[in-house]
Structure 1
């Protein structure tokens, strides 16, 4: 008893199992998590270390280098990048591809140990290094809270309430704020009064540092118990700061102190006598956010791993609606990014595309195979899709762009096996065989060849399923869906399909004249063509080779790319002001640009992120690190078709009106990738030489009319003022370099001298001079500094002879401990590969000094890494496919025939991509690999039929021709359903190149397969045409 007979004779059990599988599949579908794009692990962590007062070079030498030495000992490290700013070291640690989200936590633990090991070696004044291992977290819901006419504090209260209440919503993982201001206690000293009183700032600093410390007062044993001692006396309000006694050693005759109430002979001086104390916000604000032209506070909300984004978004919106009744009228939440809505829209779109594809496939089957056969195969197809969801659920495959696209790609292949079985049964029935016996015999003959062909088709996708890099992880669900659905299609083809054939296919009426199933005009025409081609087999082979060589030549004209841009109705405008620009000036420029953008037709909202990129609201979004000269505008539009024109208009406006600003617009990317499609990395020891080399690269890029956004990551050098200390006068006054630095800090920015505890808040206490114009550098001449010898304040100019102005690097970038400057550029139009091909020879021709090197990053590197990830698995899986074909037929010649057909797909691929002007990108590469599996499957089915007919005693030429005739319908149907089923993907920006590759390659190669395979078989086995 074979497998078909087993299920045919257990009709009730088979039907019940089918119904159960259909119902369970629908339930599994409802339970699958939803995403817009598949998740991939960002294998990066940040190590952030502050070193206040140090220049970028000092940070590099004294902090960054020591941390790098320790971290580079990690065997898991892929590469290490660092950014040394004034007073701040930021290291980006990238881990090797083989580590995934399950093993990364252990890697981050080791990273913390390596960072901890070097802390004792860092210079005094360095802050404790912070390891940020959640850098890749995605805040899919990003809102901006605004309130026209409300104070920042009032808006902040609403944000705090939202944050507290929304954290309780199901599937919410984490909520973070963006652009939140830090409150501070300011103590502004009256230097003149302090000088009159002979008070040193150090006395005040000491009092402020120790007055609000939490200290251990111990415990005392009382009887059998310990009683904790906890004295009062801490500062409980801002007003109490003024009452701090800062001196009890001075007797004043005839001098009355302001608010203290002290009179002649008083020996107490309070802080309020010499300082203005007030509560405000830290200035300047590091990060700002604006929404539709109004100041805002951003709120980012992430979903738990594996959570349902759509369900979470719905529950979140419901809770927000409830909370809106509790907040003041006029405070609103603007949506910067609402992933749940985007996911719901994307899923609906893909489900519609899937239903359209299923409908197309079924209509094709109905047209070519008849009503009963078409409905039968269509039913098996629906059952296979539903059953696939059952197995995809425990594999944690979500419904997203790649997985749903994979189902559409697999549709034609899913019906292949059922078509072969049904077609075989129909042919046998038309020859007079009993339906049941026909079904049993067809499955008996084809089960193993179909299984082998199915496994080969799956293996064609296996390289992407085993690739460790981020691109492989991004596309992994493609392989998982194909694996499950194709295997299940084989199972349903040999179990349920035979039973449905017996139940629904009508045998010819008894006594009716039996017709030749291949007597129709289509079959006779093909038979005549095939005989003619076999007679002229040498000519046919020469023509096919010529076509293949022409395709190879023509492929050089096909555009190359990595991943296409997104059609998301939102784009970015990046603004780079001259390095060192104050954030307030950056904001003024942003406000001006906002005004222009808001007037553009089609723009619905603008979000301005000033001083830093936003929270990572998309997995493929790469936020820029902290820089006061940087801003990014997120522009929402009502129609994605308007993106290109709006972006072009904005770029022209920026060039014409802001010549000193580097401004450019860009779309979001689909799939992993780098910021800056063209990247040239120059490494070497000397900063001046690196800047000179980078200048040469920029000159080459500027000379190309299609390049834009040309910049370096070192930015411009900034102006630095260095006071030249008069050592003799400084020594005579007991003043050291640190005292001068403190005086300058207190005079302008302010110096943190302690913290004030208020509930769960720790507010910095900032000490600064009261009477200084902080926005005017000339005020430096009026600064005063405490002389420990004279016991009074003296003008800073008494110990500073002059001021030296110079320029220095404010940013120093390194890669793997080598100074590295990166030049970025993007194409204005067309593919980045075209621009890269033009500038690469010129840039590589630059004469690099000894010790300096050039590396290419950007799309070139990303694409290379992705292809390298694929290439690692392709040889092994190709070998397995070759072995399977050999084992199926136990013949090297027949296996060779199959593999000679595979390259012919290039003819159709080249023709298709050139005629549609589509690039050959990563998804097109995947399409080519899948095409290989489809072609091999068709060839396997055809050669198996030839061997079967030869085994029945037919002459070789008759077996070849008759096999071609008997297999032309199932092969053509399989190719047609696959190609036509992919029509919906032609309208998807992400899949269009893959769809064109498969449609054009499959249709052309299938035509050649039905000619070339018989011709090669006849050639290899020396068959002579009739």
Structure 2
């Protein structure tokens, strides 16, 4: 081994050049890897949408939804299936398992839908299957004007811009909201139809046949293939020529073809002006700044060509958010790097501190190279990972460098000083690095969105730690061999003498006192640690904090039966109230209908004509987003009791759900709705705010068909249903294309027609028979729900409960559950339950981490008991982390917990190196056990103090930054390292001394 090292050291300059060359790849990776605000979270969802115009929700359920559900679980990877059946449409969401191949599952679902198409009703559309991507909004613009006509004038420009932007590399799609499409209605005159002796089925058949494209194919003439084509008129010209019935009655004589404005899906306003929202979505794995600049260049050019009657405002820019965040993070990273340089100079020689600085910097740069292979980009979590890495990477370099200098001061020559310096610490450095790697590796197994969110942290730390250890054992000795000074300072570093005095004081004063009463000393440390754990009860908790952003969203849910126009008027009243009461509002955007296009993490579970979302831009310097919500949410609810109102802001983490959710399973629809309503009312009486996916019951005209009468008169059910559709929303026919735009077209009776006026025409011979529609249909006014939900194939209702006193609500739910019939089942979940699941999972992973760390140390020391002494420092570190959070009143959070887990690998190093020195001296036979402990304490005091100080200084900028996401992590690690270092210097020698006395029956 010495010969190998000698060969490497003799080529030190070449080796250093090689390392620097490799680092260039790291710099390239850092400059080219994708940047974003938060890590991407994997979305494994497949959506199946099947339209069946004119169908009742129960028919949709039985004829489409249940048909698909009966086969969909055969698709590999499908874990959960939820569905909603409503009038005209069936929607299923398939949740795939984490291990599923999304592309393969999508292909399998498409094949299955193709095979099932023949099982669906004749006039049902083909199922549309799509994979729900995790694309998020990159840019959002508001095109606004005081006159909506001005926005319609630029519609073709908006559509052209949409196509241009969608073709840019890295763009997943573009959403435009605010326009209402024109439609054609073919209104039939009942009297004219009777006179012409035609029925709706004949009219529908003739219209579809006339609008169908003509394919004439080709023919052969004189050995040549000639293509045949057909020149058709415009759809409107074709409709004017449609003839129906035996008398070839023109369609225009029995129907009025009218162009109308359809029902809008969205009404958008910006600062009181009508607006059109233009939102661009980023594809997975793309770089935010570069793609954003490409989009902005195209958009800015097109905006410059718009008329002065239209203004454009940027509502949201992810690039600006990323740049703002990265400026702060890079500043913290730079400060941490400077802090590491300064702190190492306190206890190392100039050459030593330069060597450590270079090693740390190279470790970070080279450690970035494999990071993209982990599926990690540059985001808040990965940059924080680099800052944490700076604090712990110095350990290896300081330990190796300090020991090499120690060997030089003992009189070793250049080769032996470097070789012996490495030989003495290499086993402990490698084992402690393995302990850190094994600490962070299980975190890569953390499941779900939480796992995706935190994956960057362990990835960065694992790669940089491995590189750091390799460089500490190769690059550091190469540099020290190359730049060796003939005379090494006795007390290197700016505070070298102070560290030396500290080591002497520790070895000559404290250690003798400690091992004089080792059991009492250990018990005192144990009691302090246990009492510290108890401070958890007095420390605030916040799983994921709210971001320090200037956007607040307001969800508004009104009565189910409201039209979108009425909802928009009501929403404007809320907006007027907010602008009058909240002086810190700077801008307001109102989206009535389907709501915000996924901006600011806001979404509506069930959007429609009765819902709206408001995006408020506030001056957060006056009142923060969270304070705005706390101050005004209840006030809004009191002012507008007819609406369900939620105020939210961006959360720095995966999307959060309701605190408590309740799922009720029951096949009887009426019983299910009764149970849902009863529980909702009960919880609301307890002060909770409750929403249900059944929505509110709405006034309903229930048409009951007399099937016996139909059979007696030979009338088909489809005829009755078609007539009812013609009286209501109409029967959709082929879209008509006008000026390149598709126009939805429906066939219906004129508004003058009533149920009593309609006769069913039965063609029998020359004279058709007529039967009043009322002979087969009875109408009953009732209340009914608009949706039928399934969960994994079973009918279900879900309630979302928002309340402060969750324990009382859960007791009420448990009491309610006891009175349910045997046919019903109730399951309680929610964000609180998800957090409990997380803590259970992290507890299991932490147990695995402890076992792995224990095994590494056990192999290093070839002992079963010795690792327990070292693992005790982990308990002290966690105790210290809790003390830090309690003293600063920093909330225990997701990243705070990650900080505690991180400490498991970080803090064992000091104890490993200290015990390794003690064991080496004990085994040498030249030291009594007490002398071995004292001498090891003297030798290890400076590197332990120096690495602890460096780690703390590196993380201090993050702790003081005020970033609510990362402060808990920084405080936890700083306090944990400090507390563990101080108490480990007391507990580790005392425990070792007790172990020695028992193991070797001494004393």
TM-score by length of structure 1 reads: 0.88
1:585 to partner: Cα distance = 1.9
Task: Measure the CA separation in 2 of the matches of 1:851 and 1:556.
Answer: 41
Which is worse superposed, 483-492 or 199-208? 199-208
* Closer, same or farther: CA 595–910 of 1 in aligned 2, 3 Å: same
Which is worse superposed, 550-559 or 153-162? 550-559
* Closer, same or farther: CA 895–842 of 1 in aligned 2, 3 Å: same
Match of 1:316 among 289, 295, 304: 295
Q: Give the conservation status (yes or no) of the 8 Å contact 2:846–2:901.
A: no
Task: Measure the CA separation in 2 of the matches of 1:663 and 1:930.
Answer: 40
| Structure 2, unpaired ranges of 5+ | none
* Closer, same or farther: CA 115–565 of 1 in aligned 2, 3 Å: farther
**In the alignment, which residue of structure 2 is the partner of 1:746?**
726
Task: Measure the CA separation in 2 of the matches of 1:326 and 1:854.
Answer: 59
Q: Give the conservation status (yes or no) of the 8 Å contact 2:409–2:488.
A: no
Task: Measure the CA separation in 2 of the matches of 1:756 and 1:273.
Answer: 20
Match of 1:973 among 946, 961, 979: 946
Task: Measure the CA separation in 2 of the matches of 1:726 and 1:6.
Answer: 98
**In the alignment, which residue of structure 1 is the partner of 2:743?**
763
Structural mapping, 1:167-316, within 5 Å: 167-194=166-193, 200-232=199-231, 234-236=232-234, 238=236, 241-246=239-244, 249=247, 269-281=249-261, 283-316=262-295
* Closer, same or farther: CA 472–531 of 1 in aligned 2, 3 Å: same
* Closer, same or farther: CA 702–998 of 1 in aligned 2, 3 Å: farther
Is 1:982 the counterpart of 2:955 in the alignment? yes
* Closer, same or farther: CA 827–445 of 1 in aligned 2, 3 Å: farther
Task: Measure the CA separation in 2 of the matches of 1:703 and 1:948.
Answer: 71
**In the alignment, which residue of structure 1 is the partner of 2:440?**
461
Match of 1:592 among 573, 594, 597: 573
Q: Matched residue of 1:982: which SS?
A: helix
1:615 to partner: Cα distance = 3.6
Q: Give the conservation status (yes or no) of the 8 Å contact 1:616–1:622.
A: yes
**In the alignment, which residue of structure 2 is the partner of 1:1007?**
982
**In the alignment, which residue of structure 1 is the partner of 2:41?**
40
Task: Measure the CA separation in 1 of the matches of 2:705 and 2:796.
Answer: 34
Q: Give the conservation status (yes or no) of the 8 Å contact 1:961–1:1014.
A: no
Structural mapping, 1:102-501, within 5 Å: 103-151=101-149, 153-194=152-193, 200-232=199-231, 234-236=232-234, 238=236, 241-246=239-244, 249=247, 269-281=249-261, 283-369=262-348, 373-393=352-372, 395-434=374-413, 437-501=416-480
**In the alignment, which residue of structure 1 is the partner of 2:813?**
843
1:539 to partner: Cα distance = 1.2
Task: Measure the CA separation in 2 of the matches of 1:729 and 1:502.
Answer: 104
**In the alignment, which residue of structure 2 is the partner of 1:255?**
none
Q: Deviations over 1:891-944 (max 9, x none)?
A: 222222112332222321322222333343332222121101012222111111
Is 1:826 the counterpart of 2:802 in the alignment? yes
Task: Measure the CA separation in 2 of the matches of 1:434 and 1:11.
Answer: 17
Task: Measure the CA separation in 2 of the matches of 1:271 and 1:399.
Answer: 64
**In the alignment, which residue of structure 2 is the partner of 1:604?**
586
Q: Give the conservation status (yes or no) of the 8 Å contact 2:664–2:826.
A: yes
Match of 2:531 among 550, 558, 573: 550
1:552 to partner: Cα distance = 4.0
**In the alignment, which residue of structure 1 is the partner of 2:608?**
627
* Closer, same or farther: CA 511–839 of 1 in aligned 2, 3 Å: closer
Q: Give the conservation status (yes or no) of the 8 Å contact 1:184–1:279.
A: yes
Structural mapping, 1:853-1002, within 5 Å: 853-867=825-839, 870=842, 873-952=845-924, 953-986=926-959, 987-1002=962-977
Q: Give the conservation status (yes or no) of the 8 Å contact 1:137–1:616.
A: no
Task: Measure the CA separation in 1 of the matches of 2:263 and 2:454.
Answer: 44
Task: Measure the CA separation in 2 of the matches of 1:504 and 1:484.
Answer: 28
Q: Deviations over 1:593-633 (max 9, x none)?
A: 23334453333333333332444457x65553443222222
Task: Measure the CA separation in 2 of the matches of 1:798 and 1:483.
Answer: 76
* Closer, same or farther: CA 114–603 of 1 in aligned 2, 3 Å: same
Task: Measure the CA separation in 1 of the matches of 2:282 and 2:420.
Answer: 53
1:1007 to partner: Cα distance = 1.2
Task: Measure the CA separation in 1 of the matches of 2:489 and 2:535.
Answer: 58
Task: Measure the CA separation in 2 of the matches of 1:516 and 1:203.
Answer: 101
**In the alignment, which residue of structure 1 is the partner of 2:78?**
77
Q: Deviations over 1:939-971 (max 9, x none)?
A: 111111111222342111111122123222222
Q: Matched residue of 1:1021: which SS?
A: helix
Task: Measure the CA separation in 2 of the matches of 1:586 and 1:512.
Answer: 77
1:876 to partner: Cα distance = 4.8
1:372 to partner: Cα distance = 5.0
* Closer, same or farther: CA 517–642 of 1 in aligned 2, 3 Å: closer
**In the alignment, which residue of structure 2 is the partner of 1:68?**
69
Q: Deviations over 1:429-464 (max 9, x none)?
A: 444444554333211221232011111111111112
**In the alignment, which residue of structure 1 is the partner of 2:996?**
1021
Is 1:804 the counterpart of 2:777 in the alignment? no
1:413 to partner: Cα distance = 1.0
Is 1:577 the counterpart of 2:558 in the alignment? yes
* Closer, same or farther: CA 921–794 of 1 in aligned 2, 3 Å: farther
Task: Measure the CA separation in 2 of the matches of 1:793 and 1:273.
Answer: 22
Q: Give the conservation status (yes or no) of the 8 Å contact 1:719–1:806.
A: yes
Q: Matched residue of 1:49: which SS?
A: strand
| Structure 1, unpaired ranges of 5+ | 250-267, 773-778, 829-834
Q: Deviations over 1:249-285 (max 9, x none)?
A: 2xxxxxxxxxxxxxxxxxx75433443323344x322
1:508 to partner: Cα distance = 4.2
Q: Give the conservation status (yes or no) of the 8 Å contact 2:676–2:797.
A: yes
Task: Measure the CA separation in 2 of the matches of 1:17 and 1:365.
Answer: 25
Q: Deviations over 1:226-245 (max 9, x none)?
A: 3233233x331535533444
Is 1:49 the counterpart of 2:28 in the alignment? no
Aligned pairs, number: 987
Task: Measure the CA separation in 2 of the matches of 1:865 and 1:418.
Answer: 39
Which is worse superposed, 283-292 or 351-360? 283-292
Which is worse superposed, 339-348 or 841-850? 841-850
Task: Measure the CA separation in 2 of the matches of 1:587 and 1:654.
Answer: 17
**In the alignment, which residue of structure 1 is the partner of 2:27?**
26
1:570 to partner: Cα distance = 1.7
* Closer, same or farther: CA 358–696 of 1 in aligned 2, 3 Å: farther
Q: Deviations over 1:143-196 (max 9, x none)?
A: 343344353542321211111222343433433434554443222334455555
Q: Matched residue of 2:168: which SS?
A: coil
* Closer, same or farther: CA 454–801 of 1 in aligned 2, 3 Å: closer
Q: Give the conservation status (yes or no) of the 8 Å contact 2:553–2:602.
A: no
Task: Measure the CA separation in 1 of the matches of 2:678 and 2:979.
Answer: 48
1:325 to partner: Cα distance = 2.9
Q: Deviations over 1:4-26 (max 9, x none)?
A: 64554323213323432444432
